A and B are shown apart, each in its own frame.
Chain A
Amino acid sequence: MNASVARQLLGKLGGLLLTLFLSSIVIFSAVLLTPGDPVVALAGGVRPTPEMIEAIKAQHHLDQPIWVQYLYWIGGVLTGDLGTSFVYKTPVEELIAPRFGITLLLVLYTIGLIAVFGIGSGILAATRGRRTDRAVLVATSFGVALPTFVVAILLIWVFGRVLGWFPVYGAGDGFLDNLYHLTLPAISLSVLYIAYLSRITRGAVVGQLHSEHVDTARVRGIPRGRIFRRHVFLNASPQILAISGATVAGLFAASAIAEQAFGIGGLGSLLTEAAARKDLPVVQVISLLLVILFVVLNAAADVAIALIDPDSVKPRRNA
């Protein structure tokens, strides 16, 4: 990586940090826009006496100016003090910590499926002739219209009622049992993204196959496999990586749907439950976590793209 590429990446990093800072303000201000008094929510059910109101305000810094409240909140988030749940009256970190692992496992499982089947079918469509191409096109056309909740109920019906090969409820105990239980949820989460990634991959690979540098490589007598790996796929990979940051960050949010359908106690079901019970501190922290993931993953994808293709970070004319 040369100096100008590094400088471009640093500039992007600055932009990402600014985005992160601004979105944290958006998420924080949710509490200000919410109708009703947070003191009442924190008092929890009982009508607070004036002394209680003062005590709660002082404890949660609600007597301070808004920007000081923001600094307390963001400072807490950065140091691991994530606030107090309105509903459970317990620290938010105690609610999140035990549930994060199972969601992370589900998302990783899903990413694996998406990477293998999405990229795999895209490459097949681009390289194995017209008939395969048509078949993949038809399959992905259906795939992009199959949301998680529809695939989930199909799988629950087929496997829960008819076949019974995989469990349709809960997350199981122990790593292997977890994986076994998470198979159907991961499939339900991945179908739409497999179809989407397959199309992106096909487009990128076909674009490279028709380029002059590939013709040249062929004329030079380079073996087909090597041409594909070094000249076609490597050049197609930035386009595939470019959508991966947003996709993976979206998976952590979409995981809520699979967790709901299959009764998994993860971060997503916590988010859903907290939203249903108006437990704003929990929702805010999880939202911020998802935004941080989005920004970090996008930054990682940008760096990977820059390493593959340094031209990508040069200033674009139309950007």
Chain B
Amino acid sequence: MSVAQLAGGRVPTFARRLAVRDPLLIAAGIVMAGILVMALFGPLLAPYDPNQLYVGPVSGPPSLAHWMGTDDLGRDILSRVLVGAGPSVFAPVAVVLASSLLGALIAIASAWFGGWVDGVSSRLIEVIFAIPGLVLAVLAVSMFGKGLIAPIVALSIAYIPIVSRLVRASARRELAKPYIAALRIQGVGSFAICFRHLVPALLPAVLAQSTVGFGYAMLDLAAISFLGLGAQPPASDWGVMIAAGQPSLLVGAPEQSMFPAALVVVTVLAVNILGARVTTWAEGGDR
């Protein structure tokens, strides 16, 4: 039997079983895959130049030539949405990667060394937590100017407490388990215990938190762009598009705002569903 036949026989059965047991998860997975394709290949898929003015009528409704219609400057909305997918998706990914990495590092150091290290880092986390993410981002923008970079850095810092509080608690629980003591007695070095045993045990929790965090980061960054402080026009970041389309709402042309808004909502919904499943899985692995 060939590999193809083997796979052909097994994968659909598995997929079918999963589809019956958890259709929501499958739907969320498909949506996320679609969003990811948009983010990666958006500029290649776009039928028009996203910044080319008057490729169609002003505020035109969806048509065969312009599937999502055209905006108040006659630009093709589908092309703008596709090209804007990259920054709209990868900026929150950057926030989540940076905050998870930093948060996990601080938390593990806290749990591992205890004492003053724990005291100082807990106080630091407390201070960061007291400054809302949006405020830190706005502060960063007023220091370094408009654009996506300052908000990404600010949110990466602002999200550290969410990760590190959770990871610190899990790490302390893990370190109190007998197998860690057993490894120590066997003479396994601290470095090996930390990176071969502790870190892998904490990964599911970090992954779960990162998935949920991606949704928050996407909403916060889109809000900052909506306020005009993030990505700058003519960039077609989804938050920018939503804000730019606001005047058209009142003349009965909601497409310009609604399509990017719908994409933000659908992405966050899908991520939340995935996040809930990952969290269940991570908690199951913890017991």
Query: Would B261 and A19 count as touching, CB distance under 8 A?
Result: no
Beta-carbon contact of B135 and A290 below 8 Å = yes
Chain B residues positioned under 8 Å from A148 (CB to CB): 223
> Which one of B61-69, B181-189, B265-273 is at the interface?
B265-273
Contact call B123/A160, Cβ cutoff below 8 A: no
CA distance A257 to B169 in the complex (A): 34
Q: Provide the residues of chain B in CB contact with A18, threshold 8 Å.
A: 123
- Cβ contact within 8 Å between A153 and B257: yes
The residue that A272 contacts in the complex, of B132, B229, B245, B261, with Cβ under 8 A, is B229
Q: Report yes or no: A150 in contact with B134, Cβ–Cβ below 8 A.
A: no
- Are B130 and A294 in contact, with the CB atoms below 8 A? yes
Contact with A along B215-239 (1 / 0, CB 8 A): 1000100110011110000000001
**Which residue of B130, B242, B268 is within 8 Å of A149 (Cβ)?**
B242
Q: Pick the contact of B135 from A141, A156, A287 — CB < 8 Å?
A: A287
Q: How far is the CA of A68 from the CA of B257 in the complex (A)?
A: 49
Convert B131-161 into 0s and 1s, putting 1 for each residue whose CB lies closer than 8 angstroms to a CB of A: 1101100110111111000000000000000
Check B286 for interface membership: any CB of A closer than 8 A: no
Supply 12 A–B pairs (Cβ within 8 Å), ascending by A.
A27-B139, A142-B269, A144-B268, A145-B272, A147-B223, A153-B249, A153-B254, A250-B134, A276-B141, A287-B139, A290-B135, A295-B130
Neighbour of A144 across the interface among B229, B246, B250, B272, CB < 8 A: B272
Classify the secondary structure of B's interface with A: helix
List 15 other contacts, CB 8 Å, given A253-B135, A254-B134: A22-B123, A22-B127, A23-B131, A34-B143, A35-B143, A141-B269, A150-B265, A153-B246, A156-B249, A168-B250, A256-B227, A260-B228, A275-B138, A276-B229, A287-B138
Residue ranges of B at the interface with A (Cβ–Cβ < 8 Å)? 123, 126-127, 129-132, 134-135, 138-139, 141-146, 169, 172-173, 215, 219, 222-223, 226-229, 239, 242-243, 245-246, 249-252, 254, 257-258, 261, 264-265, 268-269, 272-273
Residues of A within 8 A of B268 (CB): 144-145, 147
Query: Which of A15, A30, A156, A294 has a CB less than 8 Å from the CB of B250?
Result: A156
Complex Cα gap A271–B229 (Å): 11
Bound-complex Cα distance A146 to B133 (A): 18
A231 within 8 Å of B by Cβ? Answer: no
Residue of B nearest to A18 (CB): B123
Q: Is A279 an interface residue (CB 8 A)?
A: yes
Provide the residues of chain B in CB contact with A130, threshold 8 Å.
none
Whether B132 and A276, one on each chain, are in contact in the complex, defined by CB atoms closer than 8 angstroms, is no
Alpha-carbon separation in the docked complex, A30 to B129 (Å): 17
With contact pairs A142-B269, A147-B223 given, residues A249 and B132 touching in the complex (Cβ less than 8 Å)? yes
Partner of B139, one of A19, A30, A160, A272: A30
User: Contacting A271 at CB < 8 Å: which of B138, B228, B265?
Assistant: B138
Is A318 an interface residue, CB under 8 A from the partner? yes
Q: How far is the CA of A149 from the CA of B219 in the complex (A)?
A: 9
Closest chain B residue, CB of each to CB of A192: B219
CA distance A287 to B154 in the complex (A): 14
**Chain B proximity mask over A244-276: 1 for CB below 8 Å, otherwise 0:** 001001100110110011000000000110111
CB pair B246–A272 under 8 Å, yes or no, is no
Contact with B along A83-118 (1 / 0, CB 8 A): 000000000000000000000000000000000000
CA distance A168 to B146 in the complex (A): 27
Chain B residues lying within 8 Å of A257, measured Cβ to Cβ, are: 223, 226-227
A283 at the interface (CB under 8 A from B): yes
Return chain A residues, CB-CB under 8 Å to B135.
Answer: 253, 286-287, 290-291
| A260 x B126 contact (CB < 8 A) | no
A287: contacting residue among B131, B226, B242, CB under 8 A: B131
Residues on B with C-beta less than 8 A from A271 are: 138
A148 to B239, CA, bound (A): 12
Given A147-B264, A149-B223, A149-B226, A157-B126 contact (CB < 8 Å): no
**Contacts A153-B257, A276-B146 hold; do A261 and B246 have CB atoms under 8 A apart?**
yes
Interface presence of A121 (CB below 8 A): no
Convert A55-97 into 0s and 1s, putting 1 for each residue whose CB lies closer than 8 angstroms to a CB of B: 0000000000000000000000000000000000000000000
Is B142 a contact of A146 with CB atoms below 8 Å? no
User: A75–B172 Cα gap in the complex (Å)?
Assistant: 41
A175 to B251, CA, bound (A): 30
